[in-house]
Structure 1
Amino acid sequence: MDKRKEANLRVKTHITNALFTLMEEKSLADIHISEIVSRAGVARASFYRNYSSKEDVFVTLIRDILDSFYQEIHFEQDTFFSYENMLLSFRYFQKYRKYVLDLYRSGFITVLLEELNRFHENVAGNMPSSSIEKYHLYMYIGALLNTALIWLSTDDRTSAEEMASFFFETAAKAAHGLV
């Protein structure tokens, strides 16, 4: 990565961390761009070079994480809903626990849900909009996110591997009408 890209990545990281830190102190509506850039130690122009709004910081962060996730998912299996991909999902939720929980606590978890829906729609490709089958994807996303939120918000010491096994087995049973 060239030096300008590295510097811009640092700027984005500082802005993101500053916004999330400020959200621990007050609501997003009460946070001003000037506070974010001051806390981040960057110029106001740097904010607007990367983002169009405070909410755009969330969307950009989530999309960047999902781009990284996309590079690691396994497409060679018969299904996207493999144990390996579920494990990777739980590992990502665990890795970005603070951001996920901060979005949840501040009432912005729908931003994550919308981006997860968009991401999975893109990965799934052409979904027949007239088919009831399209709802499998949304059931999976909703169940995965809700399960991860509960897992992350408790002091549960269950590993990502255990969560993925449980989720995979439960999804398989549900697909076969056993739950």
Structure 2
Amino acid sequence: MEDKRLKNTHVKLQITKSLLDLLQMKELKAISISDLTSTAQVSRVSFYRNYDEKEDVLKEYLYKLIDSWYKEYQDSGGTSEDELLGSLFGHFSKNRDFYLLLSQRKLFYLLKEILKELFGPKPEYPNFGAYVAAYFSYGLFGWIEEWFARGMQETSEEMTLLLKNRDLNKK
């Protein structure tokens, strides 16, 4: 059983690496499953055993990145919103190339789903709490998306301060 899981991990790593490499050269819709499996040197069966579509590969990779960041943040003992935001923007800076690739390939919407899951409303929240959580998660996504669209001109620390101060007239 262990060998099968390790083999599956290897297949997934090959598929993920190959998809990221191919995305450097062309749009996701222009990448066929055959291109992907050929580059990854795995069979189509291996792809479909693990994923339904190419976006699933990117979602899984995003979840791993964000999950890793979130565990690091929790381990750091941070408790304030400022510490959370600083850590999150630091994560985006650290993984700049990947997130810029998502932005350039118009795949940034995948991040919105994850941020909503992490910071967005939950069924058990009272209405007002759900609205506040939705405002926060979608607003945060908007800040991040625009930062990437503008080429990440500010440092992660500057972005944290801008968001903290909500200085919308800053040029």
What TM-score bracket applies, with the shorter chain setting the length?
A: 0.7 to 0.9
| Residue 88 (str. 1) matches residue 87 (str. 2) | yes
Instruction: Decide whether the 8 Å contact of 2:120 with 2:130 is kept in 1.
Output: no
Query: What is residue 99 of structure 1 aligned with on the other side?
Result: 98
In the alignment, the residues of structure 2 paired with residue 152 and residue 27 of structure 1 have an alpha-carbon distance, to the nearest angstrom, of 18
Structure 1 counterpart of 2:16, which letter?
T
Identity %: 28
Map 1:136-147; keep pairs closer than 5 Å: 136-147=132-143
TM-score, reference length from structure 1: 0.72
Pick aligned residue for 2:129 from 133, 137, 142: 133
Calculate the aligned-residue CA RMSD, in Å: 3.2
In the alignment, the residues of structure 2 paired with residue 15 and residue 150 of structure 1 have an alpha-carbon distance, to the nearest angstrom, of 29
In the alignment, the residues of structure 2 paired with residue 155 and residue 115 of structure 1 have an alpha-carbon distance, to the nearest angstrom, of 22
Structure 2 counterpart of 1:56, which letter?
D
Map 1:14-163; keep pairs closer than 5 Å: 14-74=14-74, 82-121=81-120, 126-128=124-126, 131-163=127-159
Name which structure has the greater RCO, CA cutoff 8 Å, separation 6+.
1
Gaps of 5+ in 1: 175-179
Count residues in correspondence.
166
After superposition, the Cα gap between the structure-2 partners of 1:92 and 1:19, relative to the gap in structure 1 and judged at 3 Å, is same
Q: Secondary structure at the match of 1:22?
A: helix
Which of 131-140 and 67-76 deviates more? Answer: 67-76
After superposition, the Cα gap between the structure-2 partners of 1:153 and 1:87, relative to the gap in structure 1 and judged at 3 Å, is same
Instruction: Decide whether the 8 Å contact of 1:83 with 1:164 is kept in 2.
Output: yes
TM-score, reference length from structure 2: 0.74
Instruction: Decide whether the 8 Å contact of 1:37 with 1:44 is kept in 2.
Output: yes
After superposition, the Cα gap between the structure-2 partners of 1:102 and 1:88, relative to the gap in structure 1 and judged at 3 Å, is same
Instruction: Decide whether the 8 Å contact of 1:12 with 1:50 is kept in 2.
Output: yes
After superposition, the Cα gap between the structure-2 partners of 1:16 and 1:118, relative to the gap in structure 1 and judged at 3 Å, is same
In the alignment, the residues of structure 2 paired with residue 3 and residue 67 of structure 1 have an alpha-carbon distance, to the nearest angstrom, of 25
Instruction: Decide whether the 8 Å contact of 2:78 with 2:84 is kept in 1.
Output: no
In the alignment, the residues of structure 1 paired with residue 74 and residue 9 of structure 2 have an alpha-carbon distance, to the nearest angstrom, of 27
Residue 118 of structure 1 deviates from its aligned partner by 1.4
Instruction: Decide whether the 8 Å contact of 2:59 with 2:110 is kept in 1.
Output: yes
Gaps of 5+ in 2: none
Residue 160 of structure 1 deviates from its aligned partner by 1.4
Q: Secondary structure at the match of 2:19?
A: helix
After superposition, the Cα gap between the structure-2 partners of 1:95 and 1:10, relative to the gap in structure 1 and judged at 3 Å, is farther
After superposition, the Cα gap between the structure-2 partners of 1:138 and 1:100, relative to the gap in structure 1 and judged at 3 Å, is farther
